[in-house]
A and B are shown apart, each in its own frame.
Chain A
Amino acid sequence: MCVDLIKLTIDGMEIEASPGTTVLNAAEALGIHIPRLCYDPSLSSVGACRICVVEIDGMRNLPASCVTTVTPGMVVRTDTPAVIEARKTILELLIANHPLDCMTCEKAGDCKLQEYCYQYGVTKGAFTGEEHHYGLEENNPFIVRDLNKCIVCGKCIRACAEITGKDILDFAYRGFNTKVTPFGNTSYIESDCVFCGNCVSVCPTGALTEKQMSGKGRRWELKKVRTTCPFCGTGCNFDLNVMDDKVVGVTSTNGPINGRALCVKGRFGWDYVHSPKRLTRPLIKKNGRFEEATWGEAFDLIATRFKEIKDKHGPGSFAALSSARCTNEENYLVQKFSRVVMGTNNVDHCART
């Protein structure tokens, strides 16, 4: 299929883009990062926040680059005084009604509003007026909602509708009173929310945060380790967030199958890892009760008993159950142990159950 590419110029650089490409994406291909709050590559674009405005020759106003598609010969500038002035004003308006408690905010370090205010040197005070005083919503175990920090970009609404498809959220009320809420102005826990947390993963500010991560460390201190989810067989990827050798949370990464989407188990069910009920020492049953043992004692007993039983009753008297939850390498070792050490093909796992 041959598609005529469209030639345009962005910040003096020429680029060819396929029809339908947005100015924001074309700029990105050139390595120019245009700020964005309501834009997300996995969601529909609404051009609501206007922070991505650019200057385009022949256009009357400053268009939002996330919803403006490229046209032949278009001349775009992303960093003119007018553009910078517009972005500063937008940020000033946003923080006029935004708590500046970054020193204690869970999202600090991973907050787009904070990042852009820093980048454009915006501080509070340009505009003053009414402020919201919503109560903190923390009546569920997974997600903390602080609507005072909501900039009404609507990404959570679109994530709920366009990724999860639960359509729990929408805008309610008008003007200054506009807020995002489940139907009937209730909390998440009172709605049909499935707690996939996909809304949290797209929120650009501290309005939606992971409750499990509260107080566990600043975002920039957390080590992110990309891994594969241990629950169902889909094969989603995510980042384990680690602080002081403890897992403190899961955040989205860009997985080949799941993109950034996760479900309640993957995003919030990992905390069994640090359950106080975890076994950490080998246990040997003596007189019907388990007693702690060293690895050496455990291996000695295992080797002695398995050998005795094999010698007395033959290899077929042994059977191993491997695990559909353990890694390939562990499964390989269990079948090798059964076949090589115990001399039997009596090895299976719960694929059939």
Chain B
Amino acid sequence: MAGLATSFGSGAMTNPINDVNDSELLFLTGTNATEAHPIIGYKMRQAHRRGAKLIVIDPRRTELAEEADYWLQIKSGTDIALLNGLMHIIIKEDLQDKKFIEERCENYEALEATVAKYDPEYVSEVTGVPVNILYEVARLYATTKKAGIYYTLGITEHICGVRNVMSCANIAMLTGHLGKPNTGVNPMRGQNNVQGACDMGALPNVFPGYQNVNNDEIRAKFEKAWGVALDGKVGLKIPEMFEGANHGTVKAMFILGENPVLTDPNSNHIRSGLKKLEFLVVQELFLTETAEYADVILPSASFAECDGTFTGTERRVQRVRQAIVPLPGQANWQTLNQMMIRMGCLTNYKHPGEIWDEMASLTPSMAGINYERIDKDGLVWPCPTCDHPGTPILHTATFSRGKGLFQGIEHVPPGEMPDQDYPFLLNTGRILQHYNVTTPYSAGIMTLWNEEYAWVNPDDACELDVETGDRIRVSSRRGECSSKVRVTDRVPKGMVWMSFHYTASQTNAVTSHILDPTSGTGEYKVCAVKVEKLAS
């Protein structure tokens, strides 16, 4: 989200999901929508079948890649080169939106100077995409009016994730595909309330509504409301927390509903950090791999047992409603509230609606949202007043930061590439049937999908002497795991692809230790591994 925040001033999907329906062009990069966001993926497929052009950029042959007008099977980690190459052609052919650039953006010269170096022949060599396809895609995107960019973690989970995002912002600004229906730069967020957790200030640098903790005026407002002096120093990001735990500077942690041992990269580092903590409290539904390290576990109530709200990827705040009595006897907000009271913070919430109202009273972008207004269809923030209809499309007249910021961004190769010792490239992601932490406890789901199948290209399978169903060991410089094999030409030669859902195949013991230096996001999409056949 740091990328879009820099370019536009706001790090969220610019356009609503249902803009997909009557788009003329869908530019998908690093997103396997029919599996990671099935309902959005289904809408994309239908839009394409109704005539929208579909461009899919992905090293894997995903379902939508199969149907696409253009499938650009780029080499992993070459997104910036590709986007710069497309922009090079757009500028060379004078297809940019000069009026938009002039009136709405700044720093265009820097972009122009950078992309001038990315001629199609060079870009083709770096990305593996044929030159003629680069021309066709560049022309198509630049000249189609209703053209939107959609991306997921295939863009962000790289060493240059933030720069990848800013490159997407660059090409959208260059062509004026922003601030209008059916356009925009649309990060589809992976988890039900990842947008909301950010919005609520569960981040080390901002209070709710992206209000900076190091801004004195803002901090004074929160100090007044909360009745305590607040720290003005930006806190630790997740990787820094575990770094601190490993070094003994972080001594105590509270973890709510997260399982970093299974889902965070380079998990052996997470485990050793957790082990070194003096005191760990985990609030969880299940005895997860992470909860095993806890000193105290507080049982959680599930979504069916809590009132509250989730904010989806299109910034729509919607109600979550309690359907059954909480299995632990109390809802999560009550548990958190009691913990605060026990430690001297005398809150007095009677219902989650009161918590929302307190937050909204301190957060201008959500001040107009309350439980009554969102009861039926939710509301899309920014929504500053109680008569404001919400803002499905961002940046219509100006960008949140004023002018859109072009940046010259150079291609950055992945932090670790295959070599002689670790000759395969491991790419990871989600599968349709599973979600990060809860689905492995669904009896129905686990009846059919209960073990990992690492995808291996047929050519590699021949060399490794493995067939679908055989077992392999996948190891990197950081750790190893074992998995069954699925032989499929959906992955290119040299790539192994795995999900991360199964306790028995802990893919993240293997994944990269390398992070994007700005966001701290792990490079889950590229690391070097070796693959060995195991006796079955």
Contacts and interface: CB of A to CB of B under 8 A. Distances in A.
A80 B308 CA distance: 50
A325 B17 contact: no
Interface stretch (A14-22, A59-67, A116-124, A314-322): A314-322
27 contacts: A141-B444, A227-B319, A227-B321, A233-B194, A233-B312, A247-B323, A256-B378, A264-B432, A269-B445, A272-B438, A278-B285, A298-B296, A310-B252, A318-B253, A319-B250, A319-B253, A320-B255, A323-B256, A326-B332, A327-B332, A328-B308, A328-B359, A329-B356, A333-B337, A336-B340, A337-B254, A343-B228
Contacts of B320: 227-228, 230, 327
Given A327-B309, A334-B336, A240 B304 contact: yes
B248 to A, nearest CB: 9
Contacts of B263: 350, 353
B155 to A, nearest CB: 13
Given A263-B39, A272-B439, A328-B200, A341 B344 contact: yes
A-B pairs with the 9 shortest C-beta distances?
A235-B312, A327-B308, A345-B235, A323-B257, A263-B38, A322-B202, A324-B194, A233-B189, A272-B441
Interface in B183-207: 188-205, 207
Nearest to A350: B258
Interface string B279-302: 101001111000000111111101
B121 to A, nearest CB: 36
Contacts of A320: 253-256
Given A302-B342, A333-B333, A263 B196 contact: no
B433 A264 contact: yes
Interface in A168-188: none
Contacts of B323: 223, 225, 227, 240, 242, 247
A285 B327 CA distance: 21
Given A277-B441, A279-B300, A283-B296, A325 B309 contact: no
A259 B196 CA distance: 22
B313 interface: yes
A186 to B, nearest CB: 16
B441 A229 contact: no
Contact of B318 (A228, A232, A346, A348): A228
Contacts of A156: none
Contacts of A285: 294-296
Contacts of A316: 249-250
A319 B196 CA distance: 20
Contacts of B520: 352
Nearest to B253: A319
A339 interface: yes
A211 B443 CA distance: 12
Contact of B200 (A141, A165, A332): A332
B477 to A, nearest CB: 20
B285 A322 contact: no
B208 A332 contact: yes
B40 interface: yes
Contact of A330 (B189, B304, B332, B378): B332
B298 A298 contact: yes
B475 interface: no
Contacts of A305: 252, 278-279, 295
B494 interface: no
A290 B306 CA distance: 26
B445 A264 contact: yes
B150 to A, nearest CB: 12
Interface stretch (B126-134, B237-245, B406-414): B237-245
Interface majority SS (helix, strand, loop, mixed), chain A: mixed
B254 A234 contact: no
B442 A321 contact: no
Nearest to A256: B377
Contacts of B339: 299, 302-303, 337
A3 interface: no
Contacts of B230: 339-340, 343
A95 interface: no
Contacts of B40: 234
A33 interface: no
B190 to A, nearest CB: 6
Contacts of A263: 38-39, 432
Contact of A345 (B208, B213, B253, B352): B213
Interface string A262-282: 111100111111010111111
B431 to A, nearest CB: 10
A268 B445 contact: yes
A132 interface: no
B78 interface: no
Contacts, number: 453
Interface of A: 140-142, 162-165, 189, 194-196, 211-212, 223, 225-237, 240, 242, 245-247, 256-258, 261-265, 268-273, 275, 277-285, 290, 293, 295, 298-303, 305-307, 309-310, 313, 315-341, 343-353
A194 B432 contact: yes
B154 interface: no
B49 interface: yes
Given A265-B445, A303-B343, A348-B236, A318 B250 contact: yes
B444 A269 contact: yes
B39 A330 contact: no
Contact of A350 (B253, B260, B279, B448): B260
A317 B199 contact: no
A190 to B, nearest CB: 12
B163 interface: no
B192 A324 contact: yes
A346 B250 CA distance: 10
Nearest to B64: A165
Contacts of B300: 279
Contacts of B436: 325
Nearest to A327: B308
Contacts of A303: 339, 342-343
Contacts of A327: 193, 196, 303, 306, 308-310, 320, 332-333, 352
B204 A307 contact: no
Given A256-B377, A284-B295, A320-B256, 9 more contacts: A227-B320, A263-B38, A269-B444, A300-B342, A324-B192, A328-B196, A333-B333, A334-B336, A352-B521
Given A277-B286, A330-B256, A330-B308, A282 B297 contact: yes
A268 B233 CA distance: 44
Contacts of A162: 46
A234 B187 CA distance: 11
A212 B442 CA distance: 11
Contacts of A315: 231
Contact of B340 (A212, A264, A333): A333
Contact of A331 (B200, B204, B264): B200
Contacts of B302: 230, 272-273, 278
A221 B333 CA distance: 30
A230 B324 CA distance: 15
A120 to B, nearest CB: 34
Nearest to A247: B304
Nearest to B338: A299
* Residue of A162, A196, A348 with highest tally of chain B CB at under 10 A: A348
B311 interface: yes
A1 B4 CA distance: 36
